Structure 1
């Protein structure tokens, strides 16, 4: 018969082994994040302020590196914010290994090349901000897998090609910015699935065809489709269910027909620009800024 001391010894041994295993697992995770960031650093070809060169070193904890914030609960990299640092290079696919990343912000640098598809493995990501860079090629269709994404800023780059229908899978998305790129093709009908969307900017591209009805997107506040090749007619009920709409821009396209009188339902509207189209009609309301020429 095993005595009490034996039981206590076995329990203590089990707990000790568990602690060692958990510690090893956590160390491995930190090592994974460190390796991913060092791979990212290795592809930086210009760092004029020496931000990464002087700070991102294995002699200090990853969580103390400039631009890096760790989650206290998991001890993993939570955010990577390196905006306005004049960094130049390409983005390493290894960033896709930062599995606890919630914020990736590289705004206003000179990153180029294609956006790695591996970033679409970051299933906890809520903010992806890479505007004002030099990215090119297509926007990965797999971005639609980032189901937690709330803010997607891709504007002022050199992206080209179509927007994939998979973008409609981003049901939590609040703001979508793809303005000032080289995108073409139709605006996907699946944007109607993005019921949380408040702000959409696709201006200054080469989008063509008709625009989807926005009737069910009741959270929309800002819509900017200006300077594209969009055409067709706006249905009479186009503005029926846009109670939050404040800014609406369709200028410099090829729309024709009558201006829908349902725009009178948009009682929050303060900016409207329908200029440089082939629209006709009269507006008998509104007190904000209106451009119809």
Structure 2
């Protein structure tokens, strides 16, 4: 009985987080989220874009890609403690990335590409230790590349193309031994590309062209 009560409480936490997130969406032109309502006859696992884990019934994936949505990311998404995949790409989300996303300790995929996010990439992003794929491309993000990115030891894809990231490329990126794809082109980076990047033995694709002209290959 206690186990059932605990499970129900945590599912309610997921439900509440999603409904607050829905309230931060100002436009849903195709009514994709029309069934995001509390009902005794249906489960949140039936809501559009939601996939739940078969074992414990918690929200496993939130995929709202290419739905024409306009709004901001509610900090309450950080309460989806069993979330593994978050894909909001190809929409019109805007505003800053909430630091509460770092609470998603099980997150393996974070795709926020092709939106209108601005502000800096939170330094707390290095706390997403399970992250394997991170795409923030085609936004308006600024600031520097946080050194905490080096803590993402499982990262395989890092795609920040087409933003306004500035400063230098930190040598700490060379610590990402599982990195296969690195895209940081079309930004405002400057300085020297660190030699450490060339020590990434798993790297298959590297895109760094079209920085401002001050960027150049490492010097011996």
Pick the TM interval, shorter chain. Answer: over 0.9
The partner residue of 2:67 within 85, 107, 110 is 85
For normalisation by structure 1, the TM-score amounts to 0.72
Q: Is residue 56 from structure 1 mapped to residue 36 from structure 2 by the alignment? A: yes
Q: 1: CA distance between counterparts of 2:217 and 2:110?
A: 34
Match of 1:105 in 2: 87
**1:278-293 equivalence runs, <5 A:** none
CA positional deviation for 1:232 = 4.3
CA RMSD of aligned residues (A): 1.0
CA positional deviation for 1:99 = 0.2
For structure 2, which runs of at least 5 residues remain unmatched after alignment?
Answer: none
Residue 158 of structure 2 aligns to a residue whose secondary structure is strand
CA positional deviation for 1:123 = 0.5
Match of 1:257 in 2: none
Q: 2: CA distance between counterparts of 1:222 and 1:215?
A: 12
**1:61-76 equivalence runs, <5 A:** 61-76=43-58
Q: 2: CA distance between counterparts of 1:149 and 1:212?
A: 23
CA positional deviation for 1:75 = 1.1
Q: Is residue 188 from structure 1 mapped to residue 188 from structure 2 by the alignment? A: no
CA positional deviation for 1:148 = 0.6
The partner residue of 2:155 within 166, 173, 187 is 173
The partner residue of 1:152 within 131, 134, 147 is 134
Residue 167 of structure 1 aligns to a residue whose secondary structure is helix
For structure 1, which runs of at least 5 residues remain unmatched after alignment?
Answer: 1-19, 237-293
CA positional deviation for 1:147 = 0.6
Q: 2: CA distance between counterparts of 1:153 and 1:69?
A: 21
Over residues 108-132 of structure 1, what are the superposed CA-to-partner deviations in whole Å (9 max), with x where a residue is unaligned?
A: 0000000110011100000000000
**1:208-219 equivalence runs, <5 A:** 208-213=190-195, 214-219=197-202
**1:110-125 equivalence runs, <5 A:** 110-125=92-107
Q: 2: CA distance between counterparts of 1:74 and 1:118?
A: 23
Residue 29 of structure 1 aligns to a residue whose secondary structure is helix
Q: 1: CA distance between counterparts of 2:56 and 2:201?
A: 37
CA positional deviation for 1:233 = 4.6
CA positional deviation for 1:220 = 0.7
Give the strand-richer structure, 1 or 2: 1
Residue 86 of structure 2 aligns to a residue whose secondary structure is strand
CA positional deviation for 1:48 = 0.3
Q: 1: CA distance between counterparts of 2:166 and 2:6?
A: 46
Q: Is residue 231 from structure 1 mapped to residue 215 from structure 2 by the alignment? A: yes
Residue 182 of structure 1 aligns to a residue whose secondary structure is coil
The partner residue of 1:204 within 179, 186, 196 is 186
Higher relative contact order (CA 8 A, sep 6+): 2
* Alpha-carbon distance change, 84 to 233 in structure 1, aligned in 2, over 3 angstroms: closer
Larger Rg computed on CA atoms: 1
Match of 2:144 in 1: 162
Is residue 193–residue 217 contact of structure 2 (8 Å, CA) maintained in 1? no
